[in-house]
Amino acid sequence: MVRRIFLMALLAMALVFTGAQDNRAEAYAQYVGTYSDGTDAYLLTESISIRSRHPYTFDCTVQYSGGGYLYYSFYPVNGSPYYRNSEGYSAYVYGGDSPVAASIYRFVVNNY
């Protein structure tokens, strides 16, 4: 009887400790494609700042191979997702001009 009570108490404590764990996702660099010049691009997930989910409006930072950074803003224009980056490029996300921008947008919409 004492053994059962002890095991039940141990199980309850284990459930309390596992339930109290922090379940936030780790920050990491998510590969989002390759620019036309052959440079790989990585979305820094900790940089994603969502301003609205309906429609998706957010800012983020992309690190490219070589150590540089680009800053992106995504927002709706005429009901479709649009982006602008810190190099001055801007276009509709799904217009075909930037597969990297489309990959960033899809990743954020599917994961945040």
Tens-place pLDDT, residues 12-62: 444 333 343 333 456 899 999 999 999 999 999 999 999 999 999 999 999
* Burial class of residue 67 in the structure, from the number of CB atoms within 10 Å of its CB (0-12 exposed, 13-18 middle, 19+ buried): exposed
With 0.85 as the threshold, say if the pTM is over it: no
Give the number of other CB atoms < 10 A from CB of residue 1. 5
pLDDT score of 75 = 98
User: In the Cβ-directed half-sphere of 32, how many Cα atoms lie within 13 Å?
Assistant: 26
Distance CA 85, CA 95 (A): 15
Q: 110: pLDDT confidence band, cut at 50, 70 and 90?
A: very high
Tokens of 78: 């005429």
Express each pLDDT in 59-77 by its tens digit. Answer: 999 999 989 999 999 999 9
